[in-house]
Structure 1
């Protein structure tokens, strides 16, 4: 990373993805850009001291940490951000790298059968609540309850898989 050309190439390759990731957590365009900019400034300033084996996980983790640091400094409840992060992972579940799917499928397998079926129809098959209710012969409210319960259960499981977060995010299509 000591080479300016490599740094510029890294910046060009990851700026858009990191900015989109930062925005999903902050919901503030300017703040998201500032955070990503700070990460790259820090990367450049510390280039002689850092020994980074995998740049993608490093950058995504750095952005996540900067977002948390920003809100922590502003006395913001970090759990709100963690929930947004987990929502993001769950919402983009279908596009996650296949190698990581095994760990996530383990979480899915812990869901009750009907709950899992409803969630998979909703997230993987992009079926609407109405379509799921019709196909399964259950009420729309039951579908909503099952989705809500499944997402809550997955969020709890994702807390245990926090180490996967940088790897999950870097395989997203922005």
Structure 2
């Protein structure tokens, strides 16, 4: 029997195949497209894989209820909801971080490290999604504190290329950070990008 097609309904398959067989066929047919969509939306391979796993858990739990519904729109609707839930969780975390850093100086001393840890995590995820050369140049500048000239000599590329790559990396990070609370974007840039 063929893989489940995008336009097909599950009714005929659920009548002739076990729930597990139908699920496995749906998974094989749709995993890659759902993963690509998730990756495009969240920009992190790890987060995208987690979301896709959640999408297929929902499919498994609701498979018997989907007899008369097309499968592809259902999977994409679940994907959209899971992405929105992720963004909401991240927004709540960052809102908490912002609120805790805006407390008077009497606030607990652990607020600042928590804030920095969260921001560092966001930036590390984005750096991992950079093209290899850009990632290398960014790490040499930010982690090894090398000058543009030293990076240029080490990689045997022009200083302008190094500057261009650092500028592109900075723009990527700014774009990523703008997805989060805009009030802290400037602070984020000061702490991690410059």
TM range (shorter): 0.3 to 0.5
Give the greater-gyration-radius structure (CA).
2
Tell which has more relative contact order, 1 or 2 (C-alpha 8 A, sep 6+): 1
Q: TM-score scaled to structure 2, two decimals?
A: 0.36
Q: TM-score scaled to structure 1, two decimals?
A: 0.40
